[in-house]
Amino acid sequence: MKTVNESKTFPSVTTETMIIGVQKHREQMKNWSAFSEFFDSTLDTWIRAGEISSDRKKLTKFPVAAANANIKRVVFVGLGEGKTLTEENLRETFGLVGKELKALKVNDYAIWLDSFVTPGIEETDVAFLAAEGIHMGFYTVPNYKTSSNEAATYLDQVEFVTTANMEEVVASFDVGRIYAEAVNEARSLVNLPPNMLTATDLANYAVELAKQYDLEVEILDKVQLEELGMGGILSVNQGSTEEPRLITLKYQAKDKWEDVIGFVGKGVTYDTGGYSLKPRESMVGMKGDMGGAAAVLGAMKIIGEVRPKRNVVAVIGATDNMVSGTAFKPDDVITTYSGKTVEVLNTDAEGRLVLADAVTYAKQQGADYLIDVATLTGGVIVALGMDKTGALTNNEEFFESFMEAAVETGEFVWRLPLTEKDKKRIRKSDMADLNNSPGRDGHMIFAGGFVGEFAEDTPWIHLDIAGTSDAKAPHDLGPKGGTGAMVRTLAAFVEQF
């Protein structure tokens, strides 16, 4: 996509669609009179009459008069009270703009940035939020319908009307677009049918990502995992005809490999529950059980693009969890890569076994801080609903730094407690060091806390995205399906930490 690096005035813009913000109190808007004079002297009358809405998230399309034929149409975007408009409001509003541009099959568009400026939101902020929102809103879930023969439409070019510094505006917009495109790639991974995304396919995607951004990559296959003794991943994989993979990506921005942030993603490409078999209704949608891996890969794509001054290692355990004569079963005792033994009480509590080995390996690869991301439990949905990511941590300062990024990106994260009593229940077993399923009560805490047993004293955050990784219905920033949850927050955290 071309971002025009040249400040435009209304008469000099040539575009299919101009995007204009309309705040309730236009007398407080920056340079509103300039557009009012250019467009039509009756513009304010139309707004007062309700023909053009200033209500937040309301869009109004208007054709432009022949005298101003260099602009085909204007989409007026209601912003409500400017003083109460938040960045999250604006990002979501631009998501609706992206959907509208897709419906209109727009190739080029322009944004009057100044019309979206408020006392708390500057032109460069608007540019970033516009790029994020529009490109996430524009996203379409890939499908395999033979009747679908319509050519794809693209946002080929954008230009800006603004009084701000154009280099800063363009730079901000381009970073926002990078963030959005990484989210959309993560969404597409989550949306892929499981027969089209095996552990091997996920590893191949990581290899291509490494080539594109000059990242160090290592892929361990089944034989290598057996040699290392990774009993967590291997036990989950026992019932499958598809081999597992352990994927490692490294981004080194400093001369020395130190002070390293470690991302760990759950990459269970399909989860039947194993012998603790899921009901039919619960099994549909389990293609998305690799949402944590998708989030980590999306974050690494952003990191590869923006090149922050921070060392990062990403480790993904990839396998499916199937039922067969060789599958692991309740009452089995397995030995993880760390040497800790686990009594298996529930084969549908498989993600934490995969993460156990991946976390241990990330520490061996030099991770000084750990963030694991996983669609781990239905318990987080019971506790927090579908729109909140649940979190655990063993380090207050580390978590507070992470939350600054989460607040900035608008991704809601809520921390749950992990007490010593919880840890005792995870460690309660007559047969092994740990058990993988202490009970249904406090399910999310026990699942994440199990992973924390392998993080040990390393500063650690657990993110359960079982609710937030998949949207059950269309929303402001995209369609039904994969959401790309935590991609932006992970990347923003690396840039800011």
Q: Which domains does the chain have, with CATH numbers?
A: 2-184 (3.40.220.10), 194-496 (3.40.630.10)
Known catalytic residue: 352? yes
| pLDDT of the residue at 66 | 52
Residue 147, pLDDT > 80, answer no
Residue 153, pLDDT > 80, answer no
Say which residue, 64 or 131, is predicted with more confidence. Answer: 131
| pLDDT of the residue at 49 | 81
- Burial of 489 from C-beta contacts in 10 A (0-12 / 13-18 / 19+): buried
Known catalytic residue: 278? yes
Among 26, 301, 310, 352, the one annotated catalytic? 352
What is the pTM assigned to this prediction?
Answer: 0.96
Among 278, 415, 423, 427, the one annotated catalytic? 278
- What would the pLDDT profile of 279-293 be if each residue is shown by its tens digit? 999 999 999 999 999
Radius of gyration of the chain (CA): 24
| pLDDT of the residue at 68 | 59
- What would the pLDDT profile of 99-119 be if each residue is shown by its tens digit? 999 999 999 999 999 999 999
| pLDDT of the residue at 243 | 98
